[in-house]
Amino acid sequence: MNNNVSNLRWATASENQVNRDCTRILSCGRVGYHHLTKTQLSFAFKNKITHLSVEDINLLHNTCVDIGGSFERLTSTLELNGETRTVGAWCVYLGIKYGTLMRNLRKKSNSKWVWTEDDNHNGVVVYRRKTEKELDREKGQRASARKLGMTLEDYLNRDTRKVIVINGQEVKYNNVAELCKLYGVSEARVGTRMRRKGMTLEKALQAPVERVNKYLYNDTVYTIKELCSVIGIEHRKFINYKADYGGKFLDKLGISHLGIQPYVL
């Protein structure tokens, strides 16, 4: 009703139509619906929050988009570990999406929900629900601690290293891989010596490296490739059988009667 230039604003016909049924927010005097997108306007009307300021509507809309849930679902209450908050507040607090929270809640478990800190996300602490595997492991650790008459903390901090005697000295280690790295020996080679030659771990670690890259046949030394050409066996087959059967590979190839002997360097 006041068409003075001081009371008018530049607007398209579409922007002007938006204000017809949206007079409630305009009463604030400094913001209006023309500052909202169509999606944000639809969000405000659907969730009946048109009485809020444009800044609040914008914040709520963006939060719902980021978390991935509807306004109605995110504003419903949820109790976890004796605390009651809205679903949206739990998502923000735990640093997870709405869908992730719901999937965790739907998982069947006889244990209580336990949330833990996970700081593996570029230094940012994220709260997540412990997995069934983690809960089962903790349950087993508590049972083992009770059997030993120890507290869980003492049980977790106990010295679990094994002891091996090499050259008359005791060496403590946690696993075979660590021990092999310490002595510069291939873990696969140690395992092969123990499995095929029946060596103890101590002997397998200290046994000298045997390189059999030549063979003696009819008083002549051949490389593997040359030997295969002489006796008429495929080179790849010879190597594969040697890797699979160890010292018995000549029998498996059916050439043990030829008297072939390894020429050890």
pTM: 0.33
Which range in 12-21, 31-40, 137-146, 188-197 is most confidently predicted, on average pLDDT?
A: 137-146
Q: What is the pLDDT of residues 93-107, one digit of tens each?
A: 888 888 888 887 776
Confidence class of residue 32 from pLDDT cuts 50, 70 and 90?
low
Per-residue exposure over 83-121, b if at least 16 CB sit within 10 Å of its own CB, e if not? eeeebbebbeebebebebbbebeeeeeeeeeeeeeeeee
Residue range 219-233: mean pLDDT, rounded? 87
Burial of 204 (0-12, 13-18, 19+ CB in 10 A): buried
Q: What is the pLDDT of residues 95-144, one digit of tens each?
A: 888 888 888 777 654 445 566 666 555 555 566 667 778 778 888 888 88
Residue range 176-191: mean pLDDT, rounded? 82
CA distances in angstroms from 146 to 119, 143, 157, 158, 174, listed in the order given: 30, 5, 15, 14, 23
Tell me the DSSP string of 6-67. GG-----HHHHHHTTT-HHHHTTSS--GGGS-HHHHHHHHHTT-TTS-HHHHHHHHHHHHHH
